[in-house]
Every structure is written in C-alpha cells, then in structure tokens.
Amino acid sequence: MLQPLLRFIFLLAMTVWLIGCASDSENVAMRPTMSHGKKQPRRYLNIPHETAYSPAFSFPKGARSIDDALYAFAPGALDQLKPYFRQAGVAYPPREIVLIAYKDERKMELWARSDSEKFKLIRPYNIKAASGMRGPKLRQGDRQVPEGIYHIAHLNPNSNYHLSMKVDYPNEFDLDHAMYDGRHDLGGDIFIHGKNVSAGCLAMGDAAIEELFVLAAHVGANNIKVVIAPSDPRLRPLDTSHPSLPVWTPELYDRITREIFAITGGKPPIKLAHSTASHPLYRPAN
C-alpha cells in the first residue's frame, strides 16, 4: 500500500516540475533578446520619428527600412551637406526645402529656409540623366520628365537606382488638363533617384541622392516642394511657341516662372516668350 502511494506522489511531483519547465521555456521564448551582431538603427537628429520621415509607406518584408538607409548614409551625407548650410546661414535641418530642376541646363538647385526667413540657395547639383525633351509629360510611355510644381510622395530606400524619392505626378493640374484634353493613362512612378540613367525620372548620381534622401528624411516629405522647369526662366523667358506643346502650356509655364521667382527672390518677366523659331530641344510636331 505504501509503495503505490509513494509512486503516485513521485509521479505527481514530476508532472508539476515538467509543467513548470514548459511554462518557463515559453516565457523565455517570449522575452525580447539582445541582438549582438546586428547594427541597431540610430537617430542622427533629435526629432520625432513620426514627423522626421515621409508618410507611411509599406516596404516588402525583409526590405531595407528608411532607418537602415540613414544608418548607412547619414554620416557621410551630413558631412557633405552641413558646410553648405553653414555657408548659406541656414540652420540644419531647415524647416522647408525646394528642389528646382532645369531640364535644358541639367541642373537642380537646393533652396532652404528656417522659420520665417527667405529661401536661400544651399547648393546646385548636376542632373546626370533626364530622358525626353522640353514639354510636359502627357501620357504613359512618352519618357518625358514632368514639368510643374510637385511634392515628394514617399522615400524609397530599396530603389533599383540606389535610393529614390517619388514625385507626386500626376498632380491636380495634370489631372485637370488631361480631362480637358480627353487624355487617359497619364503614367506615374516618377522619381528623383541615383545612378545615371533615366526613363522619365531625374537621375542625380549616387552621391547626390544620398544627400537629398537624408535631407528629405530629416525635413519631412510634407515640407518639400519640387519645381521642374523646361529651362531657367531667370536666363530667358520660357518659350511656348512650338506646335507640339499643349494649348495650356502658357498657363503651366507662367505658374512655373512665378514659383521660381518667388523662391529665388527675382521678378517674373511681364509675359512669356512666343518666338516662332523652332527650338531643337522641343519634341517634333505630330
């Protein structure tokens, strides 16, 4: 009698012990563990995460995050950028930035301001490649770089072209005038990116896009404007005379001209140029 009782007590004790081990194992598995080999994301400025980056955008599982890109590129980019901001007398990070791209000149200017100050030129960049010719983008597949006043939709740290920033083409102006023309399938996926090839995008080279990507992440997409012009209206009025251009091109070029002069501090010309000479950079008439 005593022996079966002892055997029962022993089995009960073993059962309780095993249940306790199983519970402890689950707790250990659920606890966060320290990563010893993986680099942890760093913040290069003391600004709230939710306002430091572009609007929410879902990346594929396992893809590089914006934090990963900043960890890799921010130190070098800031070393390059901050002397330009100091020379211009603009605090870093600025409150707003404007990127002005001139297609003919293959130049992009970075303008910035802090608080209520006027915009100041921080530095120019060379555009390595921009497909198409003068004139606005009208449809999918025309390989045209858009012309107009845009914003940044989101940042992409997983671009095939190193890093990229998506431009919000087509904007309201583009959509309204496409409806007026009866055009559909306007295209999209217009980026400012690295490398030196383009199919309707602005290719800036890897070093430049690293600076612009880091700056955009620190400023926030809502505080970035992108102006894309056929040429620099400070050098000559924008020519709207070519017959291949839409009838609403003068309205578009007037908006672009006034926006550029408002940012750069100049005065727009009284009227746009309407020369009859055919410009070699225009698309051929249909």
What would the DSSP string read from start to end of 84-121? HHHHHT--SS-SEEEEEEETTTTEEEEEEE-TTPPPEE
**For residues 219-235, b (16+ Cβ closer than 10 Å) or e, as one string?**
bbbebbbbbbbbbbbbe
131-143 confidence digits (pLDDT tens): 988 999 999 999 9
- Give percent of the chain with pLDDT exceeding 90: 64
Structure letter (DSSP) for residue 250? H
Q: How far is the C-alpha of 54 from the C-alpha of 62, rounded, in Å? A: 19
- Parallel/antiparallel/unpaired status of strands 120-126 and 148-156: unpaired
128-174 confidence digits (pLDDT tens): 999 988 999 999 999 999 999 999 999 999 999 999 999 999 999 99
Domain ranges of the chain: 62-264
189-235 confidence digits (pLDDT tens): 999 999 999 988 999 999 999 999 999 999 998 999 999 999 999 99
Q: How far is the C-alpha of 151 from the C-alpha of 232, rounded, in Å? A: 20
4 cis-preceded (ω within 30 degrees of 0): no
Q: How far is the C-alpha of 139 from the C-alpha of 144, rounded, in Å? A: 9
Q: What is the pTM of this model?
A: 0.78
What amino acid is encoded at 31 in this protein? R
Cβ atoms of 127 and 108 within 8 Å: the answer is: yes
Binning pLDDT at 50, 70 and 90, where does residue 277 land?
A: very low
pLDDT of residue 22: 30
Cβ atoms of 174 and 240 within 8 Å: the answer is: no
Cβ atoms of 204 and 78 within 8 Å: the answer is: no
180-189 confidence digits (pLDDT tens): 999 999 999 9
Query: Under CATH, what is the fold of the domain 62-264?
Result: L,D-transpeptidase catalytic domain-like (2.40.440)
